[in-house]
Homo-oligomer: A and B are copies of this chain.
């Protein structure tokens, strides 16, 4: 078994065929396994990041929700996203001229390029500008502005902790073009209500249009997971344009439905939601 011990007593496992890669970078333990029924899987510090069988769910929802709402997304910034799946979906949008991806950990990118080309296979695209660099530092030094910023981070432990903080979001706001949209990995709906409240609170101080939207995949413990939505104006429901790409999970109805939160989550996030 490949097993993750999540919080609050929860464990989750997939059948193991063999380990393909294990390394310890400056930031985390990186592992790639071949699983019995879910293709290849990536774990950072013992937490499932993706399986080949269901990674399209997370990546489609992170990317197509904002890119089908922004009126003309040309410049996209990804913070994190080392497996390349988010970049792959971004590059499917013809309007995109430039995609900057800032990943702190070269080991994740290298391992996925070698063992998980399904996600990392487009990282050599001519429109990509891949930088192995701390996303927090990139924000301090770059003067570029982006139409869409995607914060594709791991959980708020270790290297990813600052990516859930107020200082970082101030820098994100400074790099966002007019009509810009920010999406961030928003953690478990059931187990991370505090993180969701904290993320949405600080986003609502910086952006006029804020909320969260949900998705479910097979391999994230607790079933229901979220993304943060924050924008300078575009509204995720009123400004949705027709979707034209082939997808596994996403469609226009799923897009709209994702913003309809379970009652307990709706109540808990209401004060900071404008959608």
Contacts of A260 in B (CB 8 A): 251, 253-254, 256-257
| Chain A 8-39 residues near chain B, CB threshold 8 A | 8-15, 35-38
The verdict on A129 contacting chain B, using a C-beta distance below 8 Å, is no
The docked-state distance in angstroms from the alpha carbon of A127 to that of B200 is: 45
**Separation in Å of the A247 CB from the closest CB of chain B?**
5
Contacts of A12 in B (CB 8 A): 11-13
A-B CB contact pairs (8 Å), 15 listed: A9-B36, A10-B15, A10-B37, A10-B218, A13-B13, A223-B223, A223-B224, A247-B263, A248-B262, A249-B263, A251-B260, A254-B262, A256-B257, A257-B258, A257-B260
- Residue of B at shortest CB range from A189? B216
The docked-state distance in angstroms from the alpha carbon of A36 to that of B264 is: 22
The docked-state distance in angstroms from the alpha carbon of A217 to that of B221 is: 10
The verdict on A3 contacting chain B, using a C-beta distance below 8 Å, is yes
Q: Is B263's CB under 8 angstroms from A251's CB?
A: yes
Partner of A38, one of B9, B13, B250, B258: B9
**Separation in Å of the A59 CB from the closest CB of chain B?**
14
| Chain A 215-243 residues near chain B, CB threshold 8 A | 216-218, 220, 222-224
**Separation in Å of the A94 CB from the closest CB of chain B?**
20
The docked-state distance in angstroms from the alpha carbon of A258 to that of B258 is: 9
The docked-state distance in angstroms from the alpha carbon of A38 to that of B10 is: 9
- Residue of B at shortest CB range from A7? B37
The docked-state distance in angstroms from the alpha carbon of A216 to that of B256 is: 17
The verdict on A92 contacting chain B, using a C-beta distance below 8 Å, is no
The docked-state distance in angstroms from the alpha carbon of A248 to that of B155 is: 26
Contacts of A13 in B (CB 8 A): 9-13
**Separation in Å of the A229 CB from the closest CB of chain B?**
16
Q: Given A9-B37, A12-B11: A249 and B223 within 8 A (CB)?
A: no
The verdict on A190 contacting chain B, using a C-beta distance below 8 Å, is yes
**Separation in Å of the A1 CB from the closest CB of chain B?**
6
Q: Is B224's CB under 8 angstroms from A250's CB?
A: no
**Separation in Å of the A172 CB from the closest CB of chain B?**
28
Contacts of A257 in B (CB 8 A): 256-258, 260
Contacts of A3 in B (CB 8 A): 11
